[in-house]
Structure 1
Amino acid sequence: MSTESVARGLRRARGGVGVGGPGRPPGTRKRGKAISHTGTFLLFALPSVLLLILLNAYPVIYAGWQSLRNGDLINAGEFIAFKNYVAVVQEPAFWHAAIFTVAFTIVGVFGSWAIGLGLALLLRTRIPANGVFKVLLLLPWVVPTVVSATSWNWLVATPQSPLPQLAHFLGFGDVLFLANPTLAQITVCVFKVWISFPFMMMMMSSALASVDTNVYEASKVDGAGTWQTFTNITLPMISRTTYVSWILMTIFCVNDFPTIWLLTQGGPVNSTQSLVVMAYQTVFQNNQVGPGVAIAFIMTVVLVIVSVLLYRQIRKVNIE
């Protein structure tokens, strides 16, 4: 091989050209592999995506179409646009159910959060039989709602139940917890807190476990008291988890059908009728699909707005 051919080959190599002809530019092979891997991933993910669309998007779209018609469970009915939504918001029963839903949600979220946070702080201290105590506190959440509701019905439903008997013994007369509208609302809200605080306790326990103990030691050195440490250190450090738990519990409370239905079925005199209970009764008892689905969609829009607002608070949290 001559010297000129060797020099020409070196120049070709430096220019990115091999012996067999022009070679691939640097990075082309990596990009080709990345495109190939992306295509393979999309190919395998496509069936799952289509299944999710069929299972979630289609029912939502179909339900939204039903909310624009005046049909029932058998016949689709005629297209009436947004008349169902207008009719729903003009009913006093809708606003009564909305007010109770808001009250039920506020008590359920903040009541369960306060108790859960208090118990989470207690479990961080050294108490006898700490493990057994944790398991017992989880029982209201672990036990099925049907079992818990049956137990509470046994406690308060009739004049012969233990709590009405205790109230009569203490001189309060015949207290009917589920027959009096106000007492029924209080009972349902307390029951919701009872079955929800273990979830909040677990969320707050995980958040407290991630807080560096050196921060508390530094606060003691600076002379901070217990309340100052709680308000200025503990609450800000667990704020992100707190907002997430509020979002989840808000969704749980607004969509909670079995808690109310198993205790009162929305009574007495619709005093404990929430929006989800009203939507169920409208569709399956009154056979009015359009208005019932319209109520459900209004609930969904409100939940999305509340979730977005709380999520923005999460993004604003800056822990230094």
Structure 2
Amino acid sequence: MTEEAAGTLPGDGRHMGRFALRRRSGRSVRAGQRSVLAGLALPSIVLMAAINAYPLVFALVQSMHGGGLLRLGRFVGFRNYLNVFADPAFWSAATFTLIFTLCGVFGSWIVGFGLAVLLKPRFPGRSLFKVLLLLPWIVPIVVTSMSWNWLVATPRSLLPSVMEGFGLGPVMFLANPAIAMLTVCLFKIWISYPFMMMMGAAALESIDKSIYEAATLDGATPRQQLRHIVLPMTARSTFISWILMTMFSVNDFATIYLLTGGGPVNATTSLIVLAYRSVFQDFLPGYGIAISFAMTAVLVCLSLLLFRQVRKMDL
């Protein structure tokens, strides 16, 4: 009986040994490459950590003292944090921050993702439409807020004048607390939907066209394709865009301060605006920094929850 008939080849042992050797050498090369890359990145990581660690530690120390902007003051421990959570102004600002964030995240996502779906088919002038729709995000926030102020700020502005012409009376968009909150939320959606549109357009481009073709052959309607193909296959990008927009909205100072300054009667005062007032107007840096750390803790917890959803999709 030959060696081939017995099921053993003469070079099997040598080939297997060479294959195992190549695998070990490949692993060692990859491990060496990772070590080199880690060594090259280590100085930058240490530098960035040092640059960010000092102000973070100093802010934490300052939040436990009762001094002003120029002096650290006496140590008060966690009294600033207790005062923050006992302050009705904090909870009022937290409520508006929640409303503002929900509108900024989901409102801008609905508008932006809807526009991304509508602009996915090719048609004449599509590129021009995309550029025009990006303008609210491209134009500096100072210019955009001044434009909205020109539209709604005074009784002689454009929108109040138009509504008065229709017999609806003088509508004070930025003087009525409820309408001011609605106006600020709409302004946030206006300046944020282009970001969501870009994220949605990038996610839609990653879906293979053959999937749509197969669904069409099976008789799926556009609504069914949106529900069972588009939304599930873009969910990972959607969660990431929600995380980013949540951070943008909670930390959005310019949008609110330039449009309403936090008024009227603190109706549009968010946590970041309240922290700014506490530090730079009331000269209570410990109190204002305690508000900022409370915001940071909530953002970290929320981001961890959303990132866990992203990981589940990768499994």
State TM-score, norm by structure 2: 0.88
1:158 aligns to what SS in structure 2? Answer: coil
Give the 3 Å change call, closer, same or farther, for CA 167–247 of structure 1 in structure 2. same
**Residue 157 (structure 1) aligns with:** 153
Deviation at 1:314, TM superposition (A): 0.7
Pairing of 1:29-68 with structure 2 (within 5 A): 44-68=40-64
**Residue 177 (structure 1) aligns with:** 173
Gaps of 5+ in 1: 1-28
- Does the alignment pair 1:248 with 2:238? no
Structure 1's consecutive aligned runs of 4 or more residues displaced over 6 angstroms after TM superposition are 29-40
- Does the alignment pair 1:142 with 2:138? yes
The one of 284, 290, 315 aligned to 2:286: 290
Aligned residue pair count: 294
More displaced stretch, 150-159 vs 31-40: 31-40
Q: Give the Cα separation in 1 of the matches to 2:228 and 2:105.
A: 22
Give the 3 Å change call, closer, same or farther, for CA 160–44 of structure 1 in structure 2. same
- Does the alignment pair 1:268 with 2:246? no
Deviation at 1:215, TM superposition (A): 1.1
Q: Work out which of the two has the higher radius of gyration on C-alpha atoms and give 1 or 2.
A: 1
Deviation at 1:311, TM superposition (A): 0.6
**Residue 122 (structure 2) aligns with:** 126
More displaced stretch, 65-74 vs 255-264: 65-74
Pairing of 1:187-198 with structure 2 (within 5 A): 187-198=183-194
**Residue 93 (structure 1) aligns with:** 89
Q: Give the Cα separation in 2 of the matches to 1:247 and 1:36.
A: 35
2:311 aligns to what SS in structure 1? Answer: helix
Give the 3 Å change call, closer, same or farther, for CA 35–206 of structure 1 in structure 2. closer
- Does the alignment pair 1:314 with 2:277? no
Give the 3 Å change call, closer, same or farther, for CA 222–34 of structure 1 in structure 2. closer
1:172 aligns to what SS in structure 2? Answer: coil
Deviation at 1:126, TM superposition (A): 3.1
Give the 3 Å change call, closer, same or farther, for CA 128–39 of structure 1 in structure 2. closer
The one of 291, 296, 313 aligned to 1:300: 296
Per-residue CA deviations over 1:200-228 (Å, capped at 9, x if unaligned) read 00000000000011111111122222211
Q: Give the Cα separation in 2 of the matches to 1:124 and 1:112.
A: 18
State TM-score, norm by structure 1: 0.86
**Residue 219 (structure 1) aligns with:** 215
Task: Give the partner amino acid of 2:287.
Answer: P
Task: Give the partner amino acid of 2:242.
Answer: W
Q: Give the Cα separation in 1 of the matches to 2:121 and 2:30.
A: 52
**Residue 233 (structure 2) aligns with:** 237
Task: Give the partner amino acid of 2:313.
Answer: V
2:276 aligns to what SS in structure 1? Answer: helix
Q: Give the Cα separation in 1 of the matches to 2:129 and 2:31.
A: 54
Q: Give the Cα separation in 1 of the matches to 2:306 and 2:137.
A: 24
- Identity, in percent, stands at 54
**Residue 73 (structure 1) aligns with:** 69
Give the 3 Å change call, closer, same or farther, for CA 241–283 of structure 1 in structure 2. same
Q: Give the Cα separation in 2 of the matches to 1:130 and 1:239.
A: 25
Gaps of 5+ in 2: 1-24
**Residue 196 (structure 2) aligns with:** 200
RMSD: 2.3
